[in-house]
Amino acid sequence: MKPSSTEIFQKAIDLSMEFGEFWLKPVNDRIRAIYPFLTEQEAEDLDKKCKEIQKYCWDDLCWKEADGLITQAQIVEAMKAKYPELSEANLNRLISQGYYYARK
């Protein structure tokens, strides 16, 4: 059975947050290794979406929270409003990583 687009998206987000040698590296090849039926363009689109989500969460929201301009609850609210397809696990991980770098 072919996985849903939501499942593939969640896996791409998960891969985009891997630490170590793959930190901030494109997910294209890794996602296609897991889902070989994806086209190069679909993998590229997923990678772009992951980067867009990370930038918004980390660069826009988490830095504002670190500067005292918004609260954690507002980050969650903004992320859910803009990216309702994010799983709770991926949302929490994104925010956690964003906090790490914003407060470093």
Domains in the chain, number: 1
Q: What's the whole-model pTM score?
A: 0.90
Domain limits for position 83: 5-102
pLDDT of 8: 96
Q: How far apart are CA 23 and CA 60, in angstroms?
A: 20
Q: Report the pLDDT averaged over residues 21-49.
A: 94
For residue 2, what pLDDT band results from cuts at 50, 70 and 90? confident
Q: Which residues make Cβ contacts (< 8 Å) with residue 40, sequence separation at least 6?
A: 28, 32
